[in-house]
Amino acid sequence: MFERDWSYILNRKEKKEIMETEEVKVEKTVSIKVVIIIVIAFALIIAAISLSFYFKIMPLLNPRLFTPSDFANNFIETEILCKWKEKASDVEVKTLHGIKVTAWTNRRQETDSTPNTTASNRTVYEGCCAVSRDLFGWLIKYGYKIYVEEMKQSFVVECLMAKELKDGTPIKRTIDIYMDKSRLEEAKNFRILNATIQVTIPRQKEEKK
């Protein structure tokens, strides 16, 4: 009578089980790789959306962060711009409350014999301003940038205001923004009595010994 070779059958069964186990391992490895690829792709999509929001949406919400003045390229307004253009430690931003904001034009009646030239020896331009003498020197200097929160606009300090008004009233805690004389009526009526301003101050760099 024919006898079956049970050892052969068992070996073949064991081989089949081993092959099935290996296939399961391969499938698990492939599944893990697919999951990793999906996670990386998702992370890249999130990063792309974040960058798009930052560079396209943020300028619409807060334009001043992305529009540094051409007249003050060395000075920056916020910590974000600071990281882009120079180290954050190079500037300091001070906030002042209760500041009066007025406007002046390039007329001799309001200035002197050179109405188109500022005290810093520049030609007047839209975006420059003068400050009262009580703020100048110890805090603000020529070239410093002032952001007026109520106007959502920045100005560069280029001039000094007079010590007092014609009636003898001292001028204090005031910034005077420049408007062309063609906007005379607008300048006359322009007033902000209790503004909040931010002054960007470049730090003094220590000399290397």
200 vs 207: CA distance, rounded Å: 22
Expressed as residue numbers, the domain containing 107 is: 79-202
Q: At which of 9, 30, 61 does a domain end?
A: 61
User: Radius of gyration (Cα) for the chain, nearest Å?
Assistant: 34
99 plus 148 within the same structural domain: yes
Tens of pLDDT along the chain (209 residues)? Answer: 445 554 555 566 565 666 666 666 667 777 788 888 888 988 888 888 877 666 555 555 554 444 444 334 333 344 434 444 445 567 889 999 999 999 999 999 888 889 999 999 999 999 999 999 999 988 899 999 999 999 999 999 999 999 998 889 999 999 999 999 999 999 999 999 999 999 998 877 654 44
CA distances from 157 to 36, 50, 117, 151 (A): 55, 35, 13, 16
51 plus 99 within the same structural domain: no
90 plus 123 within the same structural domain: yes
196 plus 100 within the same structural domain: yes
137 plus 83 within the same structural domain: yes
Query: Is 121 part of a structural domain of the chain?
Result: yes
Query: Is 105 part of a structural domain of the chain?
Result: yes
Query: Is 181 part of a structural domain of the chain?
Result: yes
42 plus 126 within the same structural domain: no
153 vs 175: CA distance, rounded Å: 13
Query: Is 71 part of a structural domain of the chain?
Result: no
40 plus 135 within the same structural domain: no
84 plus 51 within the same structural domain: no
Query: Is 73 part of a structural domain of the chain?
Result: no
**pLDDT tens per residue across span 12-65:** 656 566 666 666 666 777 778 888 888 898 888 888 887 766 655 555 555 444
112 plus 138 within the same structural domain: yes
Q: How many domains does the chain have?
A: 2
Query: Is 137 part of a structural domain of the chain?
Result: yes
15 plus 98 within the same structural domain: no
Q: Tell me how many degrees the CA angle 70-172-115 measures, rounded to the nearest 5.
A: 50
Residue 191 tokens read as 């007033």
